[in-house]
Amino acid sequence: MTSRERVLTAICHQEADRVPFNLRPGEELVARLRAEGVAEDFADHFGHDVRYLYLGWPAVPEGVPAAEWTPVPSDAEVAVAAQEVAAFHARGLAVCGQYLMGVYEHAKTWTGDEATMMGPYDDPAGFADLLDRITAWKMATYGAHVRAGVDIVWIGDDLGTQRSLVMSPAQYRQWYRPRHQRLIEHLRGLNPEVRVAFHCCGHVTPLIRDLIEIGVDILEAVQAEAMDIAGLKREFGRDICFWGGVGAQSVLHGSPAQVRAGVAETLRIMAPGGGYIAAPCHTLTDDVPWENVLAFHEAIRDYAAYPQPGI
């Protein structure tokens, strides 16, 4: 089974030969691999199942207000990206578009945290117009990845803290759910077969049913320190695929033996029946010991095979 087949099988809630996996390394970890004398790509070296498509995004020109700078890749740039995707597919790899800030996050970038939270009260009509302009831009930027042929388009918004949502479910449903749904419908209009991964750090349990209803296939991050992963699998595991779940703040800061045990336990909980892509719940930075990066990959090698992952 190829990596691409393995990933798509998991998203369809079926068991492959083993659980697909990846890890997003920070620059320090890539440099450490180089220091070990390894010249090949980090993901190639460790046999990851997913590769990412990165499209270049120019910086805001000097003197141009951020809210007026909404660049979109040209047709020529998308054509070059499509060649890169085709090359990954020829190697049997699954391809995911790069993550770009979502509607809520970009509103904060343009107007600031306070203005974004107060916008629905201070100027509802103006705030709605702002979100609609961002949504239209996101349709074009995320859409460029879909046009390039990625298997997974990676959208999202950071809607959770480690304890709770950043807004009430009612606020999400009024202001952001309709725009997320509009965005997903647009992407599926470009390619009905594209899978949609929604990134959200922190605690997002109260909104998972909403995400399922608007067409999200994959919840990415699945921060184990902020949510009960066993409860997620039990309640939502038939309806959405989980990607992440290995605690970057907890499991990956233990001893190598604790990392192996934590990865095995996460696989045991999340992998049965498919619907799981194993990964740390965030990009790993230089405070994660190198020995633990190795232990994560060793645990995947030793415990990710079906029919009894984690054992």
pLDDT tens-digit map of 155-201: 999 999 999 999 999 999 999 999 999 999 999 999 999 999 999 99
pLDDT band at 240 (very low <50, low <70, confident <90, very high): very high
Has this prediction a pTM greater than 0.85? yes
State mean pLDDT over 92-118: 96
State mean pLDDT over 194-217: 97
Q: What is the pLDDT of residue 276?
A: 98
Taking 90 as the threshold, does the pLDDT of residue 119 lie above it? yes
Percent with pLDDT over 70 in the chain: 100
Q: What is the pLDDT of residue 60?
A: 86
User: In angstroms, rounded to a whole number, what is the distance separating the alpha carbons of residues 146 and 152?
Assistant: 8
Q: For residue 179, which amino acid is it?
A: R
State mean pLDDT over 26-52: 95
Q: What is the pLDDT of residue 66?
A: 85
User: In angstroms, rounded to a whole number, what is the distance separating the alpha carbons of residues 293 and 311?
Assistant: 20
CB 276 within 8 A of CB 19: yes
Q: What is the pLDDT of residues 282-306, one digit of tens each?
A: 999 889 999 999 999 999 999 999 9
The DSSP secondary structure of 6-24, one letter per residue, reads HHHHHHTT---SB--B---
Q: What is the pLDDT of residue 295?
A: 98
The pair of structure tokens assigned to 164 is: 């709770």
Q: What is the pLDDT of residue 288?
A: 95
Q: What is the pLDDT of residue 59?
A: 83
pLDDT band at 40 (very low <50, low <70, confident <90, very high): very high
Q: What is the pLDDT of residue 56?
A: 81
Taking 90 as the threshold, does the pLDDT of residue 220 lie above it? yes
Q: What is the pLDDT of residue 259?
A: 98
Taking 90 as the threshold, does the pLDDT of residue 67 lie above it? no
Per-residue burial over 138-159, b = 16 or more CB atoms within 10 Å of its CB, e = otherwise = bbebbbbbbbbbbbbbbbbbbb
Q: Tokens 């959405």: give the residue.
A: 240
Q: What is the pLDDT of residue 143?
A: 98
State mean pLDDT over 233-245: 98
Name the average pLDDT for the chain. Answer: 96
Q: What angle do CA 29, 197, 261 make, to 5 degrees?
A: 50
